[in-house]
Structure 1
């Protein structure tokens, strides 16, 4: 079970001085640089000043405000108000910029190479009774609240520990998550997250040769 601790990630200042980015994951891992040497990247940015976004030719982007109230995103001249927890998809080729009418924000960024991978971001509310699994090709990122992750053992549809017929949840193997920590998904002993709050589930699917 792999956990990426947000507190251990290095902040990378933006070239325009408008914020910093902390990278959670990328593929391939050995790729370097911020200008698309990788095929996909997941990161969290702290935005403190309005300004232009970096261009990512040949990439698709999904951006989600995860802290703060609102960002006004301009994409090729069209303005889009991005509210908290509402993912928005746009092209990395576009001329884009962000404004902050209500103050600083923090956003979750997913960037994928067009034609190679397709990325999705979903925001879900966690439950203390039913664990949320994180599968291969996914990251589960705690946005708010309190939660813990444990290696899953139950088959799909089996009683979840703590529910009727499921017994008491086992403490062994359970790891507490801090805000913005990310759980790397797996189809073997699939990690399961229990708690109270909100989780971002980032899914990255390879695009088949046929489509």
Structure 2
């Protein structure tokens, strides 16, 4: 896999593991791994109806609202009750939990990072200014808003770079002050 570029507009949509929605997979490792055997996975999901999330035993999950009104995430035993309604704010939870959701309005798009517990750990953050991105063996960068310069690469809104099995660091610089870049660094646990 090494390093590749992608665009949200050309990522194919696939059904959720439980069939309750769709997702656009950005990358998963190892390449070709199924939903029960990946070490890590990064995707963008569309939530258009209330219902349960897929359960992923042994997986740590992080979700962030990209666009839309958002959802209320909850477990029926009351342990989790979270409004995912502020764009670009991360919420982490266990894939073992039976999470349900209700819409807070219309459909929303969410950025998702999943790592196999005990094998991989994800460091996810949103940049709004120039920064050095520390090297990691795997990762994803996605321009959420505006244009970004990443070393010799330029990313426009909705474009990204993914790398796997290729320890990389980056120098990131926005083209203007309201630009946003999501950074996912995936490192061994």
TM range (shorter): 0.7 to 0.9
Is the aligned partner of 1:192 residue 2:171?
Answer: yes
Distance 1:119 1:144 in 2: 22
1:6 aligns to what?
8
Q: Hey, which of these two has a bigger chunk of strand by percent? A: 2
What are the residue-to-residue correspondences of 1:88-107 with 2, within 5 Å?
Answer: 88-107=91-110
What are the residue-to-residue correspondences of 1:128-143 with 2, within 5 Å?
Answer: 130=130, 132-133=132-133, 135-136=135-136, 137-143=138-144
What SS does the corresponding residue of 1:37 show, helix, strand or coil? coil
What are the residue-to-residue correspondences of 1:26-65 with 2, within 5 Å?
Answer: 26-32=28-34, 34=35, 36-65=36-65
Distance 1:178 1:70 in 2: 21
Residue pair 1:24, 1:182 contacting (<8 A) in 2 also: no
1:86 aligns to what?
89
Q: Looking at CA atoms only, which structure, 1 or 2, has the larger radius of gyration? A: 1
1:131 CA drift (Å) = 5.4
**69-78 or 96-105, larger mean C-alpha shift:** 69-78
1:17 CA drift (Å) = 5.7
Residue pair 1:67, 1:105 contacting (<8 A) in 2 also: yes
1:141 CA drift (Å) = 1.1
Q: Deviations over 1:107-145 (max 9, x none)?
A: 1111111111112321121x4xx3554633332111122
Alignment RMSD: 2.3
Identify unmatched segments of 5+ residues in structure 1: 152-173
Distance 2:126 2:23 in 1: 20
- TM-score, normalised to structure 1, is 0.74
Q: Quickly say closer, same or farther: Cα 1:15–1:176, change in 2 above 3 A.
A: closer
What SS does the corresponding residue of 1:49 show, helix, strand or coil? coil
1:115 aligns to what?
118
Q: Deviations over 1:135-174 (max 9, x none)?
A: 33332111122234333xxxxxxxxxxxxxxxxxxxxxx4
Distance 1:24 1:115 in 2: 22
Q: Quickly say closer, same or farther: Cα 1:9–1:110, change in 2 above 3 A.
A: same
Aligned residues: 178
Identify unmatched segments of 5+ residues in structure 2: none
